[in-house]
Amino acid sequence: MSPNADGSDGGPADTVRQVTGTGVPVRGNDVDTDEIIPARFLKVVTFDGLGQFAFFDERFGDDDQPLEHPFNDDRFQGASVLAVNANFGCGSSREHAPQALMRWGIDAVVGESFAEIFAGNCLALGIPTVTAAREDVEALQAFIDEHPDAEIEVDVAAEEVRYGDTTIDASVDDAQRRALVDGVWDTTALMGANADSVDATAASLPYTDD
């Protein structure tokens, strides 16, 4: 996350113009939210510690022995940019999915396409979901496999993903890009920063108490 060019905060939340970090590739189309965070972990009272359960059933067998999975791979520990394929985050609209990814350490997701509700839940956490062409995403995943320590730059403002000597033309939903770049993606912070307007609106509603 980075400030605006003039050094100011665009809104009450941090601006998210660019995310830079190492990558982790998770391959496969139609990866649903139950794969990202199994339903039995939704009983938590808070989201604290949820990151350790990300992709749990894909990472561990019935005997709790680790399976081959990028989130278990020592090369990708500490990665903050997740590279995925098509229709990532489909299935039930559980906000726990992006919460688990964020708490594992993911700050941005680059993929071919995303389920709409999943993308919205990511935005509520300040996590950009950036789309690119299939061949570009697959090339990015291959690069991460070969260069796990290389930095990936996800430029939300410029709608580009950069790695090595390569620049990918990417796309960020217009509303998401404005919210992230202007720092108005956190609706709770936005309401807190405009308390007088919220109070005035509430007072004008005929179905609220004085």
| Per-residue pLDDT, 10 | 56
- Give the pLDDT score at 44: 72
Contact in structure between 184 and 12 (CB atoms under 8 Å): yes
The pairing of strands 81-83 and 18-25 is parallel
Per-residue pLDDT of the chain (210 residues; tens, 9 = 90+): 443 333 445 566 688 999 999 999 999 999 999 999 999 888 776 788 899 999 999 999 988 899 999 999 999 999 999 999 999 999 998 899 999 999 999 999 999 999 999 999 999 999 999 999 999 999 999 999 999 999 999 999 999 999 999 999 999 999 999 999 999 866 544 434 444 544 454 456 676 665
Write down the pTM of the prediction: 0.83
**What distance separates the 2 farthest-apart alpha carbons in the chain?**
63
CATH topology of domain 18-185: Aconitase; domain 4 (3.20.19)
Residue 17: CB atoms within 10 A of its CB come to 22
Instruction: Give the Å distances, CA to CA, from 117 to 33, 77, 152.
Output: 11, 27, 25
pLDDT value for 47? 83
Q: Taking each helix axis from N to C terminus, what angle separates 116-123 and 174-182, rounded to the nearest 10 degrees?
A: 10
- The encoded tokens of residue 128 equal 């950009």
